[in-house]
């Protein structure tokens, strides 16, 4: 029985497998333009590392954002397609919460509340506030980094947004991106809020699909559901 965890809400394409006791495979590639190309091979590579078959997947956890429209939908489409093909539940998790879990689990901050801020482009950040245990106490929201910093002044922040806009936050914490290993551990340990596997955009997408033709993403996700392990 395996939990497959994945997140594509940021430039990180991150995948992990958890066997009920521990994370048995994980990978993260930072590339904001190749989510579709990288995700499915990463899932099969994780299965190969764990010496497992896709039919052993019993649950899927996926980051639902907030994040840019294009990258975010890649992970959600793959998770939902595979979940339907294998008839297993798909759990959604706020990607900012995954970063916060990484802060606490990694021991990167143990002195009171903190924030998570990821890049929302347009000189804005997706942000949320957390207590010392990693429980979300404000957000998620989107807006200029300065506004996020004013709402919770003097707090450090994890995520890429803290590095892009250092003037808005007291310090930059690790991790910079969500980790599927952290996502898997949090879901397996029931220490994170579970959401519906629907995209958390917080604002409208920049573009609208031009047609209803089946996308490369749909074909790739379908191949994931039907491909056999060697």
pLDDT tens-digit readout, 6-17: 999 999 999 999
From the list 143, 145, 142, 138, the residue with the least C-alpha distance to 113 is 138
Separation of alpha carbons 93 and 145, rounded Å = 23
Length of the chain measured in residues: 230
**DSSP bridge pairs for 27:** 15
Pairing state between β 124-130 and 12-18 = unpaired
Q: What is the pLDDT of residue 205?
A: 53
Tokens (6 digits) for 189: 């340990």
pLDDT tens string, the chain, 230 residues long: the values are 899 999 999 999 999 999 999 999 999 999 999 999 999 999 999 999 999 999 999 999 999 999 988 899 999 999 999 999 999 999 999 999 999 999 999 999 988 999 999 999 988 999 999 999 999 999 999 999 999 988 888 999 999 999 999 999 999 999 999 999 999 999 999 999 999 999 998 876 554 455 454 454 555 555 566 654 44
Q: Which residues of 197-216 are buried (b: 16+ CB within 10 A; e: fewer)?
A: bebbbbeeeeeeeeeeeeee
Q: Are strands 157-158 and 2-7 parallel, antiparallel or unpaired?
A: unpaired
Distance CA 27, CA 159 (A): 18
Sheet holding 124-130, edge to edge: 136-144, 124-130, 114-121, 157-158, 172-173
Location of structure tokens 């994980």? 26
pLDDT score recorded for residue 226: 62
* Buried-state track 123-145, b at ≥16 Cβ within 10 A, e below 16: ebbbbbbbeeebebeebbbbbeb
- Per-residue pLDDT, 203: 74
Check residue 151 and give its pLDDT. Answer: 86
The structural domains of the chain, ordered by start, are 2-95+178-226 (3.30.420.40), 107-173 (3.30.420.40)
The confidence score (pLDDT) of residue 224 equals 63
Q: Name the residue among 127, 59, 60, 74 with its Cα closest to residue 99.
A: 127
Q: Please tell me the predicted confidence (pLDDT) of residue 111.
A: 87
Q: Which H or E run contains 142?
A: strand 136-144
Question: pTM for the whole thing?
Answer: 0.89
Distance, CA of 143 to CA of 224 (rounded, Å): 36
């Amino acid at each position: 029985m395996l939990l497959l965890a994945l997140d594509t809400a940021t430039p990180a394409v991150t995948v992990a497998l958890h066997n009920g006791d521990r994370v048995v495979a994980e990978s993260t590639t930072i590339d904001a333009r190749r989510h579709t190309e990288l995700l499915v091979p990463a899932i099969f590579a994780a299965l190969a590392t764990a010496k497992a078959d896709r039919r052993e997947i019993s649950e899927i956890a996926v980051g639902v954002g907030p994040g840019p429209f294009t990258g975010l939908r890649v992970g959600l489409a793959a998770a939902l397609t595979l979940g339907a093909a294998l008839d297993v539940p798909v759990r959604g998790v706020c990607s900012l919460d995954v970063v916060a879990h990484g802060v606490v689990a990694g021991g990167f901050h143990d002195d009171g509340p903190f924030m998570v801020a990821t890049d929302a482009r347009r000189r804005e950040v997706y942000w949320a506030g957390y207590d010392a245990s990693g429980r979300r106490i404000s957000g998620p929201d989107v807006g200029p980094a300065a506004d996020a910093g004013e709402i919770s002044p003097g707090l450090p922040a994890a995520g890429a947004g803290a590095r892009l806009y250092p003037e808005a936050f007291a310090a930059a914490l690790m991790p910079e991106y969500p980790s599927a290993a952290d996502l898997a551990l949090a879901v397996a340990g029931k220490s994170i809020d579970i959401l519906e596997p629907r995209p958390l955009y917080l604002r409208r997408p920049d573009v609208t699909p031009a047609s209803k033709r089946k996308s490369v993403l749909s074909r790739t996700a379908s191949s994931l559901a039907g491909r056999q392990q060697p």
